[in-house]
Amino acid sequence: MLYLHLFISFFKIGLFGFGGGLAILSLIQMEVEQHGWMSQQEFVDIVAVSQVTPGPIGINCATYVGYTVGGLWGSVLSTFAIVLPSLIIMLSICKAYFWLTKRFKGNPYFEQTLRMLRFTVIGLVASAALLLMKPTTFIDFVSWIIFGVVALLTILPNFVKNKVTEIISHPILLIVLAGFAGYLIYA
């Protein structure tokens, strides 16, 4: 039964995961929360690990959640389940490649739906961040300072583009620094 739930959840995440890694987070979070598979803290921690390790965030989350819930086979099954919808849909697309590019390029239904989904995806990413802003992750005012500093440094290259801002806005560096700050403050 557990394996069936894992499979259905991650199949759903793969099937409705539009718009890349961050947009998929709110879907994963909702599934994990509804099944009570892990605490919110643990979910944030695994996102942190995903940010500093290579590879797609969706695969990382699927493997981790699968392992903690169902061991080795759980992780294999979840990872397979998140990839399966892609396999079915992308292979159909490949088989009909020429037919599709002729028919869908410039098709108002298709283009407009994709445009609207881009706006929805922005909302999905925002909700993923909002859902994580809870007392379990933001324990005191220091948390808000870390949040503010990291957010500012991340969007800085949009305004001042040079080598320095590029380096200090790197997510891996920021996570390492935040971890170091956490160690100094809370340990």
Partner 1 sequence: MLPLIQREVVDRKGWIDEEEFLNMIALAQAAPGLIAVNSAIFIGWRIGGWRGVCGAVLGAVLPSFLIILAIAMVFREWKELPAVEAAFKGIRPAVVALIAAPLFKMAKSARISWLTALVPVAVALLIWLGHVNPVWVILATILITLCSIYISSYRSSK
Least spacing, CB of residue 146 vs partner 1, in Å: 5
CA 176, CA 18: separation in Å to the nearest integer?
Answer: 29
Among 6, 24, 14, 15, which residue's Cα sits nearest to residue 78?
Answer: 6
Binding-site residue total for partner 1 (CB under 8 A)? 101
Q: Is residue 89 a contact residue for partner 1 (CB under 8 A)?
A: yes
Q: Quote the least distance from Cβ 162 to partner 1, whole Å.
A: 17
Tell me how far, at minimum, the Cβ of 1 lies from partner 1, in Å: 21
Restricting to residues 148-177, name those near partner 1 by CB under 8 A.
Answer: 148-151, 154-155, 158, 171, 174-175, 177
CA–CA separation, 82 and 56 (whole Å): 11
131 makes contact with partner 1 (CB under 8 A): yes
Give the separation between CA 50 and CA 58, rounded to whole angstroms.
9
Asked whether the beta carbons of 70 and 2 are under 8 A apart, the reply is yes
Residue closer to partner 1 by CB (options 117, 168) is 117
Tell me which DSSP letter residue 1 carries.
-
Residue of 105, 94, 104, 89 lying closest to 16 (CA atoms): 89
Residue 168, judged by CB atoms within 10 A of its CB (0-12, 13-18, 19+), counts as: middle
Min dist CB 148 to partner 1, Å, is: 8
The single residue among 8, 39, 103, 122 that binds partner 1, judged by CB under 8 A, is 122
73 contacts partner 1 (rule: CB under 8 A): no
Least separation in angstroms between CB 18 and partner 1: 5
Among 17, 32, 37, 77, binds partner 1 (CB under 8 A): 17
